[in-house]
Amino acid sequence: MKKPLILQICIPFCVKQCAFCAFPYCTYDPRTVNAYAKALLTEIDAWEGEWDDHEVRAISIEGGSPALLGADSLFHVLQKIRRTFHCAEDVTIRLQTMPGDYSRALMEKMRDAGVNHWIIGLETASRNEHELLARPYKYEAITMADMAIRTFHPRALGFHLLLGIPGQTRESLESTLSRCLYYAPEHIIAQPLMIPECSAMAEQIRTEALQPMPEDTLQELIDFTRTFLCERGFQPSTKCDYVKSGFEDRCQLLMLQGCERLGLGYHSTSWMDGVMWRTGHSLQEYLEHPGDFETLAADMIRPDTTDPAALKELFDPLHILLWDHSPVIHPPAGHFL
């Protein structure tokens, strides 16, 4: 029996930086993005024949803003993956895009490439909160979701939302949740806003231009979200994922179970034989050496896999996914599932 494998594909480009972002995103420019698409194909080629004893159960296409790679390039990357790796017949292919990324070409190509779990990185449907977060799309783009969903119609539709945005209220959150539910999604991710030290929002807080949300108010919003969604047929699958029965996020659950993971693309993360590493010390290095694992492996660590606390730190470093009593993470002795 083949061992399960997750592929994580990182597309690290954004048109501008969100106020709460600490990700080393790369500024969008068409020439660099084209070079990146070619590098990704070269990297996938380099793995030919190396994973014959594995079956890809889940593919996660993450950003940055994955749609910036372009519909054709994303399609070719997924086609090459299917030719290079053994993918399970029911492989989950999860893609996160932002409102404003929509085009008929992108939606049709994603549908044809087999993307079946589509997450819209909405964060909030409130104009004020959207502007505070400085999201890299126009607020009005939210309305384009109608057309996009009708064109794409993935097996599972999800929305990524943030809780604890300064100034967010129970009413504004309820309005955001209701707006999402209008589209009958199968998955809602409601994640507490993290404000890293180096972000623009942290600077606003330091200069007292902005007040962070007090812990107890955030907790009220988390409790409200849970009640609101559970009353409408969702079940919590992690601390911040709510799903309709049968639509659990396979990528997320396999990851938390310690399933081996191969990262593709700059700044993707791999987890193999008890070792975790990132790909590429810089975008330039990645573009010059795609597929050269020895050059690109960065931040390599071998955590103590007998220590559940160390594993929890590794797989849920922000403590936003797992409950303390969670049975999900097991020490990675052998393979999972």
Does position 64 interact with ligand SF4 (CB under 6 A)? The reply is: yes
SS3 category, 64: coil
Q: Which range of residues in 17-25, 68-76, 157-165, 201-209 is near ligand SF4 by CB under 6 A?
A: 17-25
Q: Which range of residues in 50-58, 61-69, 225-233, 329-337 is near ligand SF4 by CB under 6 A?
A: 61-69
Alpha-helical runs (H) found in the chain: 30-46, 71-84, 104-112, 127-133, 145-152, 170-181, 200-206, 215-230, 250-256, 283-288, 293-296, 308-315
Using N-to-C axis directions, what is the helix angle for 104-112 and 71-84, rounded to 10°? 10
Cβ neighbours of residue 86 under 8 Å, at least 6 residues apart? 2, 51, 52, 54, 55, 56
Among 5, 6, 10, 21, binds ligand SF4 (CB under 6 A): 21
Give the separation between CA 26 and CA 30, rounded to whole angstroms.
12
Does position 63 interact with ligand SF4 (CB under 6 A)? The reply is: yes
Among 23, 28, 47, 293, binds ligand SF4 (CB under 6 A): 23
SS3 category, 173: helix
In the chain, the amino acid numbered 10 is: C
Does position 17 interact with ligand SF4 (CB under 6 A)? The reply is: yes
Nearer to ligand SF4, 91 or 201 (CB): 201
Q: Which range of residues in 16-24, 159-167, 201-209, 233-241 is near ligand SF4 by CB under 6 A?
A: 16-24
Residue linked to tokens 């992690």? 238
User: Binders of ligand SF4 among 135-154, rule CB under 6 A?
Assistant: 136
Does position 65 interact with ligand SF4 (CB under 6 A)? The reply is: yes
Does position 180 interact with ligand SF4 (CB under 6 A)? The reply is: no
Residue 205: CB minimum distance to ligand SF4, A: 17
Residue 126: CB minimum distance to ligand SF4, A: 17
Nearer to ligand SF4, 173 or 195 (CB): 195
Q: Which range of residues in 62-70, 100-108, 158-166, 294-302 is near ligand SF4 by CB under 6 A?
A: 62-70
Does position 14 interact with ligand SF4 (CB under 6 A)? The reply is: yes
Tell whether omega for the bond before 114 is within 30 degrees of 0, i.e. cis.
Answer: no
Does position 283 interact with ligand SF4 (CB under 6 A)? The reply is: no
Residue linked to tokens 């999402």? 180
Contact 160, 20 (CB under 8 A): no
SS3 category, 337: coil
Q: What is the CA radius of gyration of the chain?
A: 19
Pair type for strands 235-236 and 241-243: antiparallel
Point out which residues bind ligand SF4 (CB under 6 A). Answer: 14, 17-18, 21, 23, 25, 63-65, 136
